[in-house]
Structure 1
Amino acid sequence: MASIEKRTDGTETAYRVKIRLKGYPTQTATFARLTDARKWAQHTETAIREGRHFKTAEAKKHTLADLVDRYIKDVLPGKPKQYIKQKQQLTWWKEKLGYCLLADITPALIVKFRDELASGETYRGTPRTPATVVRYMAALSHAFTIAVNEWQWLEDSPMRKVKKPTESRGRVRFLDDDERERLLQACKASSNTWLYPCVILALSSGMRQAELLGLKWQNVNLKDGYLILHETKNGERRRVPLSGLALELLLQHAKIRRLDTDLLWPGTIHKDKPIDLRKPFETALKTAGITDFHWHDLRHCTASYLAMNGASLAEIAEVLGHKTLAMVKRYAHLSDGHVSNVVASMNLKIFGGG
């Protein structure tokens, strides 16, 4: 609430306004006329409630374009894996709101363009998914957070009051036994001799495509049956066990490895760049008569097979390299039979048969 204090030094009278609103820093100003004091108090209090008022004068000096440009220049280089994607996302916001002063950017304005973003189309007329909209908003939100905490351009981020779309539970597409057999046969018959071992390795380990194709021999221990991933999506090293057919195929592959590169799967043109298996994989899918399936779904296959063979969500998360269980909850229904057996076993031990 705003309070106005009258001050007189004998010759001049001044009116000092103080605005206190829960959750915001106190705002003060002094005026010579009571009318001006009241107008400022009303305008400022309304602006604070609507998220338009910022204590720092920097918010009235810089535009969103300034914020995006500085963030891309100073912050994004420290995030090499996200650089291209987040630069694209932030550039979209810059094109829409770059002309606006930071002091004029309100939650309502961001909501307007959030909804425009959600209704927009991407490749081949496909609407953006809620997950895509969330990524765009997250990129802008972090830029605002840096501007608040480190640059002191803003007192608070307008993103705090903007609701993110609810993401879907996530795609779960895995191959049944017949589909898996057909795909593996097609991969084995492929003109690309590396397609089959790579698909086997993907199915047995749950590695992402970039992790698998970026493997180097110094990170593979064939004697003890494991490999180390140093470059992962969550930034942490991960130990991947090797066993069965995947290990056998890697042992065979090691006998004919190229000595002029450290990569397990070097490209045919550039030996220090991983091979591109996109076309051979698409051809194998077509040959096998499998639709609605992508390379990343091989990772879903691994998780699904683990769940159906009694692995806990924590174990699946560890294999896939997820820090939390949130990403693997989509596979929970596949382990319902295992959970039922665990509950039945517990009841049998406690209450006995009957």
Structure 2
Amino acid sequence: MGTIVERQKKDGKPSFTAQIRKKRKGKVILNLVETFTTRAAAKSWLNDMESNLNRKGGMERAVRAKARKSVSQCIEEYSAASPFSFGKSKSQMLSTLSRLEFGAQSIDDLTAADFIDLANNLLKGIQAPPTDPKLDTPSHYTLKPRKPQTVNGYMVTLGTLIRYGGPICRVTMPVSEFEEAMRTLKHHKMVTKSNTRSRRPSLEELDMLMEYFHSRHQANPRIVPMHKIIAAAIFETHRQGAILSQTWNDYDQANEQIMIRNMKHPMQTDGNDMLLDIRKEAQSIIDSMPRTDERIFPYNRDVISRHFTDACKLLEIDDLHFHDLRHEGISRLFEMGLTIPQVAQVSGHRSWQSLQRYTQIKQKGDKYANWKWWPIVATDH
């Protein structure tokens, strides 16, 4: 028979912890513990559990159930086993899935219906408990609906765990159940792939942004020189994170090259360092920056994103993302007649398939040849 231990909580009220321990050949094979607010509830739980264990095969079923792992446990083990750190998006999605109620479910028992329920909840905008307990307020759980493209990202990320995490977590993953659920979700368009963006800023839109940010910087030179960041994003053709992480030690002015550390890659970001060409236009922007920090552009990523988004709203520039500046820069190189290998050596893409989505050719030649902002972005003020 199990035991019940009474303890006093901090508020002075009693709690009753019920425990059942079963041994076989001197080794504990099952340890069940639950805490209740009343002794009667604890005793009732003990009686029910003992009754279940005494049934035919009850002990074996309980031992197997205890040995099962939750989704969150498997996420933790799968993440810890990877020799490379995951990207920001994948890490965030795995963390969210782990903290949802879905994360507490036994991964062995998941069915296609469970995966569909998860996708439905994500679409509705269910929020996981925050990682910081101080932010755990009722308002945090306000539904924030997600797009099918976003939910697809969560499901694809979960799919890597389901398909490849079994040997690591030492469990049999419900691969067929997951695949069945994904077929249903795609059929009903509850998950869809992201649309390929073809948005490029016009010279008029860039003039508005450059004028806005340059005038602000002239009024207060201590604020972020966003006009230079925008120009760097176009003419370096790198992601925001890559631009903001570049150091002077990684910049080889003489050989017109720059090392991009931990360049984003779907399979391996950590340690994916690439030595890439950097063209004269981008060099002129870099050379104009003061060497007051080990980083060339020593600014906060969130601040850059916020400034850009706020400016687009203020200037009524519709549907322009910071990442579209990279599209603009890569497309420009193709418009100037550079070959695929030449562009890839600047942008860092490893295949035409990945590079192709960034190319929207609209003209021939360099529309920035006489850009009026060159004298400003290439000077040290």
TM-score after normalising by structure 2: 0.59
Partner residue in 1 for 2:155: 137
Residues 331 and 251 of structure 1: is their aligned pair in 2 closer, same or farther, counting only changes over 3 Å? closer
Q: Take 1:113 and 1:168, find their aligned partners in 2: how far apart are those partners? A: 19
Partner residue in 2 for 1:120: 125
Gaps of 5+ in 2: 1-62, 128-139, 218-222, 365-381
Output the amino acid matched with 1:89: T
Match of 1:227 among 232, 247, 258: 258
Deviation at 1:321, TM superposition (A): 3.1
Partner residue in 2 for 1:298: 325
* Pairing of 1:255-274 with structure 2 (within 5 A): 256-258=290-292, 261-267=293-299
CA contact (8 A) 1:186 1:285 kept: no
SS at match of 1:113: helix
Partner residue in 2 for 1:187: 213
Query: Deviations for 1:38-71, whole angstroms, at most 9, x for unmatched residues?
Result: xxxxxxxxxxxxxxxxxxx968831434634643
Deviation at 1:295, TM superposition (A): 1.6
Partner residue in 1 for 2:274: 238
Partner residue in 1 for 2:178: 159
Match of 2:77 among 71, 75, 83: 71
| 1:215 maps to 2:246 | yes
Q: Take 1:185 and 1:179, find their aligned partners in 2: how far apart are those partners? A: 10
Query: Deviations for 1:79-126, whole angstroms, at most 9, x for unmatched residues?
Result: 25347413333225x513623x33321223212322332343789976
Query: Deviations for 1:26-47, whole angstroms, at most 9, x for unmatched residues?
Result: xxxxxxxxxxxxxxxxxxxxxx
Gaps of 5+ in 1: 1-56, 268-272, 339-354
Residues 98 and 325 of structure 1: is their aligned pair in 2 closer, same or farther, counting only changes over 3 Å? farther
Q: Take 1:126 and 1:328, find their aligned partners in 2: how far apart are those partners? A: 33
Residues 188 and 243 of structure 1: is their aligned pair in 2 closer, same or farther, counting only changes over 3 Å? farther
Tell me the matched-pair count.
270
Query: Deviations for 1:230-276, whole angstroms, at most 9, x for unmatched residues?
Result: 221112323343334432232232xx311xx4112225xxxxx7793
* Pairing of 1:1-354 with structure 2 (within 5 A): 61-65=67-71, 67-68=73-74, 70-71=76-77, 74-75=80-81, 78-82=84-88, 84-92=91-99, 94-96=100-102, 98-99=104-105, 101-120=106-125, 127-154=145-172, 157=175, 158-163=177-182, 165-191=191-217, 192=223, 194-234=225-265, 235=269, 236-253=272-289, 256-258=290-292, 261-267=293-299, 276-282=303-309, 284-285=311-312, 288-310=315-337, 319-331=346-358, 334-335=360-361
Q: Take 2:166 and 2:263, find their aligned partners in 1: how far apart are those partners? A: 30
Q: Take 1:251 and 1:262, find their aligned partners in 2: how far apart are those partners? A: 14
Residues 95 and 323 of structure 1: is their aligned pair in 2 closer, same or farther, counting only changes over 3 Å? farther
Q: Take 1:331 and 1:72, find their aligned partners in 2: how far apart are those partners? A: 32
Residues 250 and 74 of structure 1: is their aligned pair in 2 closer, same or farther, counting only changes over 3 Å? closer
Residues 110 and 314 of structure 1: is their aligned pair in 2 closer, same or farther, counting only changes over 3 Å? farther
SS at match of 2:275: strand
Q: Take 1:149 and 1:59, find their aligned partners in 2: how far apart are those partners? A: 19
Residues 108 and 315 of structure 1: is their aligned pair in 2 closer, same or farther, counting only changes over 3 Å? farther
Q: Take 2:98 and 2:322, find their aligned partners in 1: how far apart are those partners? A: 29
Q: Take 1:264 and 1:335, find their aligned partners in 2: how far apart are those partners? A: 31
Q: Take 2:338 and 2:65, find their aligned partners in 1: how far apart are those partners? A: 52
CA RMSD of aligned residues (A): 3.6
Q: Take 2:309 and 2:151, find their aligned partners in 1: how far apart are those partners? A: 28
SS at match of 1:239: strand
Deviation at 1:221, TM superposition (A): 1.2
Deviation at 1:73, TM superposition (A): 6.5
